[in-house]
Amino acid sequence: MTSAEPEPRTLETLRSVAETVATEAADLVRERRAAGSGVEVADRKSSSVDVVTETDRASEALLRHRLGELRPDDGFVGEEGSRRPSSTGVTWVVDPIDGTVNYLYDIPHYAVSVAAVDAAGRSLAGAVVDVARRVTYSAAKDAGATLDGRPLQVRPPAALEEQLFLTGFQYQRHVRTLQGAAVAKLVGRVRDVRRFGSAALDLCAVAAGTADAYVEEGLQPWDRAAAGLVATEAGAVVEVLPGAGGMECVVSAPVAGYDEVLALVTECGFLAG
C-alpha cells in the first residue's frame, strides 16, 4: 500500500458511512412512495423520458446534508446537480434514486447508491440499498463485498448459452435503437436477457451471482461508482469501454469468463467498432 492510499480502517469507516446514509435516504424514498408524496415528474434531463421526481431531489438533499455532518471536508457530487469541493481527496458520488422510472411507475426495483471515490475517481467504498427489498450491498477496496453483512461471490463459470445477461437502454433514442439491435443478436446466443431498470442493482446482481453478465451503454459515474466496486470485490471485472452510440459502455462478468463475454458483446454490436 502506498502512502497515497487510505488505510484499511479508513476504508471501513467510509464503507460504514456509505451504508448509514444510503439506508437513511432509502427510508425516505420508501416512505414517500408509500404516501404518494413527491412521486410526480418535477423535471426532465437528457430527453422527455429521462425524468426527475421531487423525491430524487429530497433524497439527494438528505444525502448531502448527512455526509456534510459525518464527513464535512469531503467533496460531494450528486446526480441531480449538487456539488461540493473536497479538501481531503475523498468525494462522495451519489445517485438518490437509481431507477427513477421504476419509482415513478411504482415498480419495486430501484436503489439509493452512495460511493466514496479518490481524487482520480477510483471507488474506495460504497453501498447500494435496494429500497423495496430493504437489503444493502456494500464493499470497500480490497475488503470484499457483502449483502447485509454476508459475503458475496460471483457465479461459477458457465457456457455462454447457459448465461443470463442483464442490460438496459439509454434515454436518447439513437443510442436505444443501437442497443435494441445488439440485444436482438445477443438473445439468441445466451440463456436469456433481462432488463430491470436499475444499473446499480444489475451490477449488484452480477456480484451476488443472480446474473452472469451485464452490459449497458450510457451509464454515469453515480450509476456505477458503488455497485461497480461491489461487483469487483465479489470477483467480477467491471470495464468501461466506448459504446456503439458514442457513450461509455459498462461490461461486467466474473473474472473467469470475462474475455468470452467481452468478445460476444463486441460481436453483437454493443461496442464501438
Say if residue 215's pLDDT is above 90. Answer: yes
206-225: average pLDDT:
97
What does the pLDDT read at residue 146? Answer: 98
Biggest CA-to-CA distance, the chain: 51
Burial class (CB in 10 A: 0-12, 13-18, 19+), 83: exposed
Say if residue 6's pLDDT is above 80. Answer: no
Query: Worst-scoring range by mean pLDDT, 7-21, 28-42, 43-57, 189-203?
Result: 43-57
Coil/strand/helix, residue 225: helix
Kindly indicate the confidence band of residue 7, based on its pLDDT and cuts at 50, 70 and 90.
confident
Kindly indicate the confidence band of residue 41, based on its pLDDT and cuts at 50, 70 and 90.
low
Say if residue 217's pLDDT is above 80. Answer: yes
Say if residue 1's pLDDT is above 90. Answer: no
Q: Which residue has the higher pLDDT, 108 or 172?
A: 108
Say if residue 48's pLDDT is above 60. Answer: no
- 77/97 Cα distance (integer angstroms): 14
Say if residue 3's pLDDT is above 50. Answer: no
- 8/162 Cα distance (integer angstroms): 38
Q: Would you list the DSSP string of 230-261?
A: HHHHTTEEEEEEEBTTSSEEEEEEEGGGHHHH
Say if residue 47's pLDDT is above 70. Answer: no
Q: What phi and psi, each to the nearest 5 degrees, are found at residue 125? A: -165, 160
Kindly indicate the confidence band of residue 82, based on its pLDDT and cuts at 50, 70 and 90.
confident
- 24/14 Cα distance (integer angstroms): 16
53-79: average pLDDT:
96
Say if residue 226's pLDDT is above 90. Answer: yes
Domains, the chain: 8-151 (3.30.540.10), 160-268 (3.40.190.80)
Say if residue 52's pLDDT is above 50. Answer: yes
Q: Tell me: the pLDDT tens digits for 155-212?
A: 999 999 999 999 999 988 899 999 999 999 999 999 999 999 999 999 999 999 999 9
- 255/78 Cα distance (integer angstroms): 30
Mean of per-residue pLDDT scores for the chain: 93
Burial class (CB in 10 A: 0-12, 13-18, 19+), 191: middle
Q: Which amino acid is at 215?
A: V
**Rg of the chain over all Cα atoms, to the nearest angstrom:** 18
